[in-house]
Each structure stands twice: as structure tokens, then as C-alpha cells.
Structure 1
Amino acid sequence: MTTLEWDGYLNARDLGGFPTALSSTGETRFGRIARGPRRERLTETGWQDARAWGLASIVDLRCAHEVGQGEGDHVIADDVFEGIAIVNSPTEDQNDPEFWEACAPILDSPEYWAHNWQMQPQLVRGALDSIASSAPGTLVHCSAGRDRTGMISALILGNAGVDPHAVGEDYATSVHAMAHITTHAPGAELDEARSPAEVDEWMIDKLPIVHDTAARAHEIFDLLEVSIATRAALRRLLIAE
């Protein structure tokens, strides 16, 4: 995994360089898909950094009420976004009372992932379709770039044949990166900061869920009724044949 140094942005990585036997190069391709937190954290220099990486499209996994500038965000001129396709494709409907009752206490954990794709499969599938149809050089993000982005990253990396333990390391990197950040979206409740030791302890029973998600990606895609065309497009984005 490669950390992306985009000004004002943290917890951003290129999904290239992961080991996979499906690629002729033995690893996933760089410059195709990046993962990160809310794009409003980027400074104008950060947007320039992202363009230099090859940013062409953004798939935003957040609910509509989470999108927009918050306190402390940078004011960015409209022309900075010119030529970048931005698609809002939320993975969850937080207004669904059944989903909210089941998932609200665990939205900061992969424990909710299976609830999400079982209760709202059309939304998770829609996000995957959006990534598959986006121009290469795609930033996939939510608010923290950790949980929703972690779920989608685990699925697309699993679909590309990446070793599940490497996927788990990627998720752990995001949890550590955001452990000291107490707010991830405008108006959201404050999270509790965690020390590295607390993060490691917390992840003991969480990483097996991430490993299982990547290992069972094809089975989960079946459950979500992801089309063969979307699966193939996602794979082409990440592997050289």
C-alpha cells in the first residue's frame, strides 16, 4: 500500500501494489483507485496534488446530509474541480429505521458491514457500479475513509484476488490514521480518541471480519447481485492481464 501525500488530507492511499496472483505483474495497479476521507479536507494545493496523481473522478459514499463544507474546511474555488466527475453513491440509508436500529451502535466497526449488504444491498451494489463505471484515477471516500470506504475497498480488493491479510493491514492502517481525529463530519458527534495500543486491542476481533469479507468477496457479490460486467470492470481497474 502507498500513502498519498495530498495537502490537508490524511488516511489516503493508492490501492496499487497489493499482492495478487490474478495480475500478470503480481500486484494491483497504481494510479487507478485511491481511498480516503471526506474530500473537503483537501486544500487547494491538495487538489493539485490529487490531480498530479491522476485524479479524474470521485465516488462519494456518504449520505447527502454529510456532504459539504464544515467548520475548519478550506474554501476552494469552483474551477479547481473542473473536469473531475463527482458521483454521490451512498452505501447506506441512515433514515431506514431498521438499519439504524441495527447499525447505529457499530457504524465505526466492520461489524455492521454484513448488515449493510443484507439490509440495503441495492445501495452497496450501486456504489460498486459507480466505481466500475468511473474513469480510472478514482478517489473513493466517505467521511473518515475508514468504515464505508473500508468495506468497499475490502470487496474490490477481494474481487481482484488480493490476499485477505493484506486487506486487513490496509483497514488497520486507516483505523490507526484516524484514531486521534475526534470529528469526521460537520455536526457529527465527537468520537473518542484512541491510543495505538487501544486500537490494536480493539481490532483483535475486527480484523477477522475484514479478512473474511475479502476472502468471500465473490460470494458477497452474488448476494448483492453484482453483475458480471461490474465485477470484470472492477477487476480490470486493479489488475494488469
Structure 2
Amino acid sequence: MTLIDIELSAPVNLRDLGGIPIEGGTLRQGLAIRTDDLAYVTEEVADKLVADGLTALIDLRSPLEVATTGRGPLASRPVTYHHLPLIADVSETMSEGAPSFTHESMGAMYVSMVESAAPQLVTALNVIAHTRGATAFHCAAGRDRTGVLAAMLLLTLGADDDEIVADYARTGENMEAIFTRSRPVMGAMWEALGSERSLDDTRALLDGQMHVSARILLAQLRERHGDALAPLRTAGLSDDTIARLRERARVA
């Protein structure tokens, strides 16, 4: 796979997680930013992100996706880059035998993602805990892999389920814009893979029921492990990291 020529554009699903209630207070602005793909933002967007305090970037995309677009304008800015793919081979999610795109199947996929990519999630949480300045994390749409990391971060910070689900579901209102922005990239990648699937196959997820996937994620993690953070604790999430995250994040 080689880099493709793509028009640079502003992200359409970017939001600072600041303001969400967490244990002991509220999550402060300027700690964690979740977003859709930052690999092809405009130079102006890259400059503004850095000016606003961005110092670290966590790229949750697969190696194939990174090879498709590269790192973009932020690669030349003073931003530390961490490639932590939550799905090693994105082609597996597009094969003919892959589950259909439903809120239930997405929720089940998120559970598997937490269990299989727990080391990457732990590393991501440590990056956020130890970075001076803001950390942004993204996948392609800023919904699935980004949503999983956001959920794990908010769980670690002591947010309740309703807040976690509400944050995940907020992406629903941006999905049409996400489709428009990501279609050229996703189309080129799927064509290169010889996949008969297209971005339109995911349109069933636009029915306003996105909260279902997040509820399944949290419920099944607890059903299978007791503690929803248990897979991350087993992979090395320490009490010290949790304490540092909460200290950095909390505004009383």
C-alpha cells in the first residue's frame, strides 16, 4: 500500500473531553482530545492544535491505514507521536465473513478490542498520564477505536456509565460529516484490499441508537471480568498510573 493523494481537511468529530464529571470533580480542559483522523488535517488546523497546547498524538489506526495516508502535517510539528493500533489488520473487519454492522456487533467487537489490545490501551493511558500538555487520540472516524480508548480513560477517571455512554453517543450527530470526509481515504483503502464492502455498509449505524454499543461494552466487560478495567489491570495498568491520571485530570 502506498500513500494516496488526498485533500487536506479539518476534522469533523473532534472534541475535548473536558467538562465530563469524574470522581471527585470534573475532567479539565486541555488533557485529552478525541477526534477523527488527524493524518490529513490542514496546515492551519495543525498549527492551531499545537498553539492550543497539543504535545502528544496517539494514532490508533492499523499499520495499513497509516501506510495509506502517512502522518500528515502534524509530523512536522513538535508533537510526540505514538502508534498504538487497536486492530492489527483492518482487512479482517472488512472481509465477507466479518459480522454485519449493527450496534450489537459493534459492542461485542469493542469488548474483544479491550481484551486483545489491553497492552496498547494501557500504554495510551500512560501517555496521557505523563504528557505535559494535551494528548489527542484518533482512529479513522473517531468513533470505534477512539471510543474504546475514551471509555477506558473515563472509567479510569471514575466517570459513571451514563457519562461514558453519552460521550460515545455524541459521535452520532457527526456521522454524516464523517462519511463525507473519510470516503476518499476509506474507498481507496478498501479498493486496494479488493473488498466488496463500502462505507455505505455502515449506514445502518445512523439510526440514533449508538448508545447500545457502549452499554454492551461496559456490561459485557463486567459480566466477563467483574471489573471492567480488569483486562487493563492484567496488562499492567497500575494504581500509580490511575492516581496520576486522576490528579492531572480533576478540577474540583
Q: Shared topology, TM-score over 0.5?
A: yes
- The structure in which a higher percent of residues are helix is 2
Match 1:105 to one of 92, 99, 109 = 99
SS in 1 for 2:208: helix
Residue equivalent to 2:215 = 208
Q: How many residues align?
A: 224
**TM-score normalised over the length of structure 2:** 0.73
1:128 CA drift (Å): 2.9
Asked if structure 1 preserves the Cα contact closer than 8 Å seen for 2:58 and 2:124, the reply is yes
User: What is the aligned-residue identity percentage?
Assistant: 25
1:77 CA drift (Å): 8.6
Unaligned runs of 5+ in 1: 1-6
Residue equivalent to 2:133 = 136
1:74 CA drift (Å): 11
SS in 2 for 1:57: strand
CA 1:132–1:77: 2 relative to 1, 3 Å: closer
Asked if structure 1 preserves the Cα contact closer than 8 Å seen for 2:22 and 2:154, the reply is no
User: Which letter does structure 2 place at the counterpart of 1:205?
Assistant: V
Following the alignment from structure 1 to structure 2, what is the Cα–Cα distance between the partners of residues 194 and 123? 29
**What RMSD over aligned residues (CA atoms) do the two structures have, in Å?**
3.5
1:75 CA drift (Å): 7.0
Following the alignment from structure 1 to structure 2, what is the Cα–Cα distance between the partners of residues 237 and 10? 27
Q: How does 1:1-241 map to 2 (within 5 A)?
A: 8-22=10-24, 26-68=25-67, 70=69, 76=73, 81-94=76-89, 104-105=98-99, 109-180=106-177, 181=179, 183=183, 185=186, 186-188=188-190, 190-192=198-200, 194=203, 198-201=206-209, 203=210, 205-212=212-219, 216-240=227-251
1:217 CA drift (Å): 4.2
**TM-score normalised over the length of structure 1:** 0.76
Following the alignment from structure 2 to structure 1, what is the Cα–Cα distance between the partners of residues 231 and 100? 20
Asked if structure 2 preserves the Cα contact closer than 8 Å seen for 1:158 and 1:214, the reply is no
Asked if structure 2 preserves the Cα contact closer than 8 Å seen for 1:110 and 1:147, the reply is no
1:64 CA drift (Å): 1.6
